[in-house]
Amino acid sequence: MDSYLSFGLCEKALEFNLDVELPDKSHKQYLFPTRLTVDKIKTNIINDNAAILKKSISSEYILVVDNERIEIDFQRFIISHPRITEMLEQEPLVRIKIVSKNNFNPIISHPPSLISLPKETVTR
């Protein structure tokens, strides 16, 4: 079982604040229970912003934290991405974006040591 203390939350803190940047660059604030999964949070955001999010199908949108996609929909939100856990260690506030899958362009930057180089042929 997850310890709330590991997220910088006291044991009585069962909720966290979520600041969501919508596709039109406006922001909306929410207060969610820590037990909710990524898909439940995404569905709540979409239902609450139907006028802005023209495609109201949850599968058309993704949640993004620090320009990285939150990959696992059925995992508890507060442990779904390392950056979310880091934010919660500082304060009970997480900042994310909701974007259309078609418009998501992550900025990919790798240190030189992580760039794939062609494998050398090994001869024996």
| pLDDT-wise least confident of 15-19, 64-68, 96-100, 105-109 | 105-109
105 falls within a domain: yes
Using H for helix, E for strand and C for coil, what is the string for 43-66? Answer: HHHHHHCCCCCCCCCHHHEEEEEC
Helical segments of 23-122, H only: 38-48, 82-90
53 falls within a domain: yes
CATH code (residue 22) = 3.10.20.90
Residue 7: the pLDDT is 53
95 falls within a domain: yes
Q: Which residues of 71-97 are buried (b: 16+ CB within 10 A; e: fewer)?
A: eebeebbbbbbebbbebbeeebebebb
Structural domain range at position 25: 4-114
What does the alpha-carbon distance between residue 104 and residue 90 come to, in Å, rounded to a whole number? 27
List beta partners, residue 18. 30, 94
35 falls within a domain: yes
Instruction: For 96-117, write each residue's pLDDT tens digit.
Output: 999 998 888 876 544 444 444 4
Please give the tally of structural domains in the chain: 1
Q: Per-residue pLDDT for 9 more than 60? A: no
Instruction: For 75-94, write each residue's pLDDT tens digit.
Output: 999 999 999 999 999 999 99
Residue 1: the pLDDT is 43
Residue 13: the pLDDT is 60
For the chain, what is the mean pLDDT?
Answer: 81
Res. 37 pLDDT band, cuts 50 70 90? very high
Other C-beta atoms closer than 10 Å to the C-beta of 37 total 16
87 falls within a domain: yes
